[in-house]
Amino acid sequence: MATSAGNSSTAPNAAVDTIAAVSTPPGRGGIGIVRLSGPQAASIAAQLVRLRQPLAHARARLADVLDDAEPGHTVRIDEAVLTYFVAPHSYTAEDVVEIAAHGSPVVLDFLLRRAISLGARLAEPGEFTERAFLSGRLDLTQAEAVRDLIDARTLTQARLAASQMGGALSHRVTPIKQSLVELVALLEAGIDFAEDDIDVTPQAEIARRIDALTPPLAALEASFARGRIVHEGLTLAIVGRPNVGKSSLFNRLVERDRAIVTATPGTTRDLVTERISLDGIPLELVDTAGLRESLEEAEQLGIARSREALADAALVLVVLDATQPLNNEERGLLAAVEGRPALVAVNKSDLAAEHPSAMEIAGVAAFSTSALTGEGIAELREHIVALATGGAAPEPGMLTTLRHHQAVSTALGALSDAAQANANATPHEMILLDLYRALWALDSLTGQTTPDDIINLIFSTFCIGK
């Protein structure tokens, strides 16, 4: 079954229920917000507090939060600000009231329980945004961007989510869909009126139109290379033998003394991790124990974990000592990362007689660095970003999730099948099957023809209150 924005719902009684939830994070804070949405939002809110002025659209109103638990005795327990948004001029396109009280969990829980006792229902995770989607206020990519903005760990992630909320991805998809719909309509008309001696669309014209659709879709698919990484981030394992400067490079990259650095080999006994952002790419750096043969139990455990981190990491930075020749363990390490996204940092270049800025060691790109002086660190950061993104540049409307990518890939595959069918002079009825498959794939991207179970899964990942 397909869900179409504005005419179906996955929430119970969404057309008549008024929902309520605390929309601020759990815990204490200066401000806490209880949000209501639905036909009874204003009337319930008016009973929760004593308003000093009547509610009015998009106007803040001071009010007293009252506790009348004892008969004949009412006390004010807080002061709040109510903001009322009249349908359809609200986030959900329903009547919405937001009650901003002091961020005491006791007060917020009191307001929420009172709202439920007055007829509201506790909102499901993501139900406010789901109602915005079902009402047509947001398409599915914009709704997903709301969650991404909440989850953003870097400013670049926040900017990307804000761009998607503004419809950047939808704006890239809409003209492609429009051209596809026009081609479908042309073929449908040719079939409908063929018996009336109206010319059927020429094969060359169909080929031209399909060819015109492919480049923008292919460019959109290619944007996933960077969009996915900005959205999800990557893990970079820093590996090498003891005392080559792994921890010092780690500290340079995180720009603080996070890992212990000493001249004694084998100082790092366990994994040390830190999240950073390089050119907007979220990276989890993992400093590992030096790889060598050891009889000490603690160091052996650290080395075993290092090998696990090396196996699990998306990117690998192999650190070598510019003052020492390669040993067998390092040759084995370089062989182990062959074919994987990896870089070599030839560290301690300040102590080496010669230190070329760029080279290749065992087929892996290598760069001279000095964790002590900072030489080569900026260039190393640039090469890590290039390795992570495959050189893909940032652009508006990037694909950020596997669901997005699968939809565009399906559309491209369907168009390729349609082009092949057209080249084989296949009847237009059969070509239309492929074109409709491409159209449905693009519709699923924005939510026009998305199955209910996918809708449920997407919104269940939201926090309650959003």
In the chain, what are the domain boundaries? 2-139, 163-223+397-446, 233-389
The answer to whether residues 221 and 400 touch, using CB atoms and an 8 Å cutoff, is no
Task: Say what the pLDDT of residue 10 is.
Answer: 42
Look up the CATH superfamily of 2-139: Probable tRNA modification gtpase trme; domain 1 (3.30.1360.120)
pLDDT tens-digit profile of 166-213? 989 999 999 999 999 999 888 888 776 655 545 578 899 999 999 999
**What pTM, to 2 d.p., does this model score?**
0.75
Q: Share the mean pLDDT of the chain.
A: 84
Task: Say what the pLDDT of residue 88 is.
Answer: 93
Residue 258: pLDDT band (50, 70, 90) is low
Residue 355: pLDDT band (50, 70, 90) is low
Topology at the third CATH level for domain 163-223+397-446: Four Helix Bundle (Hemerythrin (Met), subunit A) (1.20.120)
d(CA 187, CA 143): 34
Residue in 90, 130, 113, 126 with CA at minimum distance from that of residue 3:
130
The answer to whether residues 48 and 75 touch, using CB atoms and an 8 Å cutoff, is no
Residue in 21, 94, 2, 109 with CA at minimum distance from that of residue 466:
21
CA 372, 376, 380 angle in degrees (round to 5)?
115
Contacting residues for 363 by C-beta, under 8 A, at least 6 apart: 334, 338
In 242-382, the DSSP E strands lie at 272-278, 281-287, 315-321, 342-347, 358-361, 364-368
d(CA 406, CA 404): 6
d(CA 293, CA 303): 9
CA torsion, points 130, 132, 137, 140, in degrees to nearest 10? Answer: -20
- Percent pLDDT > 90 in the chain is 36
The DSSP bridge pattern shows strands 29-37 and 19-22 to be antiparallel
Domains 2-139 and 163-223+397-446 share a fold: no
The answer to whether residues 415 and 374 touch, using CB atoms and an 8 Å cutoff, is no
CA 397, 402, 225 angle in degrees (round to 5)?
60
Residue in 220, 278, 216, 290 with CA at minimum distance from that of residue 248:
290
Contacting residues for 87 by C-beta, under 8 A, at least 6 apart: 93, 94, 95, 96
Whether the pLDDT of residue 435 is over 50: the answer is: yes
Look up the CATH superfamily of 233-389: P-loop containing nucleotide triphosphate hydrolases (3.40.50.300)
Beta bridge partners of 276: 283
DSSP conformational letter for 200: P
The answer to whether residues 4 and 448 touch, using CB atoms and an 8 Å cutoff, is yes
